[in-house]
Amino acid sequence: MSRQVKCGSVLIGGGAPISIQSMTNTDTRDACATAAQIHALADAGCDIVRCAIPDLQAAEAIRTIKQQLQNRGVSIPIVADIHFDYRLAIAAIENGADKIRINPGNIGGIDRVSAVVTKARAAKIPIRIGVNSGSLEKDLIEEFGRTPDALAQSALRWTEKIQKMGFADIVISVKSSDVRETVTVGRALSRATDCPLHLGVTEAGVGERALIKSAVGIGALLLDGIGDTIRVSLTGDPINEVAAARSILSGVGLLPGAIDIISCPTCGRCRVDLPRITAEVAAKTAVLEKARIESGIRDILTVAIMGCAVNGPGEAAHADLGVACGDGRAVFFRKGKIEENVSETEIISLILREISQC
Ligand code: SF4
């Protein structure tokens, strides 16, 4: 198990629930717009949010953003994303950043990394070491090429250097836009370190393919028991990243409080409008799932919506709640027992009522 670090009020690693991260795409210097987007991300289920800090004004805006979030009653840790200029990391910490993300390879040398570490230690905040192939050390490129091994070695080398400074609150990320590389690096890191790992397929793109790339890369590692916090990287509105991250966690059974809908693809045997029923239940279930998660329910609720008697009774009986449909009707199961026989028009309200009582 990875060791645990604390980012604001969120625990990362050490058996804590996998946290969901996203990144704002507002101009961080526009504190109002950034606070509004962070509020929306928090409402969508984001646990930790990262903001780009390209200059001193952006670093200083963190203080105003946090104040605005507090005024809105929103509590969510903010990570300052720093490249090139270590002074921005220091300014971000002075302005209340809950975590710093640096790429030590592009920050200007060990002394500057050390200055950031000293400041983070004093502020009791963690550092995420994020390396990428663009800033790999020459000797690693010579030994390994621009490969997953070189990326892993670079991250581990920096981790060791920072640990030797007496600083242990480190999260590591080595992301790639290539799914195989992402998985290979994640596995290599998990064998070599107990630092918590931040997972993601970076620059995954847009649309369905981006979602599937992210699900495959992140999901493969999570199923191996690797990873402590995730970010799905999608071009566009970051709210979509949070929904995708939740779906990935739900898909691998790691979203506490999730409502997992099991429904058949339908075929020529189906005698109800199962696609409409399932779509409506899924849409209305999203609100119920959010309420379960926010109220601290940890059990995953399985709901089967099945089209006929071939696989229907088995799946419905196996789920917490289930319907096995027939010709314009359905048999309803609760915890494996048949409870009711209802008409097609009653199926949706019955399932939603039962979910809300669980
Ligand atoms: S459960 Fe019935 S309707 Fe659904 S796919 Fe299987 S055989 Fe077809």
Does ligand 1 come within 6 angstroms of the Cβ of 270? yes
The dihedrals phi and psi of 26, each to the nearest 5 degrees, come to -80, 165
- Which of 273, 278, 306 has the most ligand 1 atoms within 8 A of CB, as the residue to mutate? 306
Q: How far apart are CA 346 and CA 349, in angstroms?
A: 6
Cα 307 to ligand 1 centroid, rounded to whole Å: 5
Atom of ligand 1 nearest to the CA of 267: 8
pTM of the model: 0.92
- Which of 262, 263, 270, 323 has the most ligand 1 atoms within 8 A of CB, as the residue to mutate? 270
Does ligand 1 come within 6 angstroms of the Cβ of 268? no
Cα 270 to ligand 1 centroid, rounded to whole Å: 6
Name all domains of the chain by residue range, CATH numbers in brackets: 5-251 (3.20.20.20), 259-356 (3.30.413.10)
Atom of ligand 1 nearest to the CA of 269: 3
Q: How far apart are CA 248 and CA 353, in angstroms?
A: 26
Q: Residue 171 corresponds to which tokens in the numbers above?
A: 């999260």
Does ligand 1 come within 6 angstroms of the Cβ of 269? yes
Q: How far apart are CA 214 and CA 204, in angstroms?
A: 7
Question: From residue 99, how far is each of 12, 104, 220, 284 by CA, in Å?
Answer: 12, 15, 27, 35
First-to-final CA distance of the chain = 32
Question: From residue 250, how far is each of 163, 168, 222, 260 by CA, in Å?
Answer: 34, 31, 11, 7
* Runs of H (alpha helix) within the chain: 31-44, 56-71, 86-94, 110-123, 138-144, 148-164, 179-192, 207-223, 239-251, 274-294, 312-318, 347-356
Atom of ligand 1 nearest to the CA of 315: 1
Name which of 335, 271, 346, 326 is nearest 304 in CA terms: 335
Does ligand 1 come within 6 angstroms of the Cβ of 262? no
Write the DSSP assignment of 183-211 as a string of letters: HHHHHHHHHH--S-BEE-BTT--SHHHHH
- Which of 266, 277, 318, 325 has the most ligand 1 atoms within 8 A of CB, as the residue to mutate? 266
| Residue 175: per-residue pLDDT | 81
| Residue 350: per-residue pLDDT | 97
Quick check: helix, strand or coil at residue 355? helix
Q: How confident is the prediction along the chain (358 residues), in pLDDT tens digits per residue?
A: 899 999 999 999 999 999 999 999 999 999 999 999 999 999 999 999 999 999 999 999 999 999 999 999 999 999 999 999 999 999 999 999 999 999 988 888 899 999 999 999 999 999 999 988 777 888 989 998 888 899 999 999 999 999 999 999 999 999 888 899 999 999 999 999 999 999 998 888 888 899 999 999 999 999 999 999 999 999 999 999 999 999 999 999 999 999 999 999 999 999 999 999 999 999 999 899 999 998 989 999 999 999 999 999 999 999 999 999 999 999 999 999 999 999 999 999 999 999 999 8
Atom of ligand 1 nearest to the CA of 270: 3
Does ligand 1 come within 6 angstroms of the Cβ of 310? yes
Residue nearest to atom 2 of ligand 1 (CA): 308
Q: Residue 167 corresponds to which tokens in the numbers above?
A: 């600083």
- Which of 262, 263, 269, 329 has the most ligand 1 atoms within 8 A of CB, as the residue to mutate? 269
Q: Is the dihedral of CA 77, 78, 83, 89 positive or negative?
A: negative
**Helix pair angle (274-294, 347-356), 10° resolution:** 10
Does ligand 1 come within 6 angstroms of the Cβ of 326? no
Q: How far apart are CA 317 and CA 312, in angstroms?
A: 8
Cα 214 to ligand 1 centroid, rounded to whole Å: 29
Write the DSSP assignment of 12-37 as a string of letters: ESTTPPPEEEEE--S-TT-HHHHHHH
Residue nearest to atom 7 of ligand 1 (CA): 310
Q: Which DSSP symbol is given to 85?
A: -
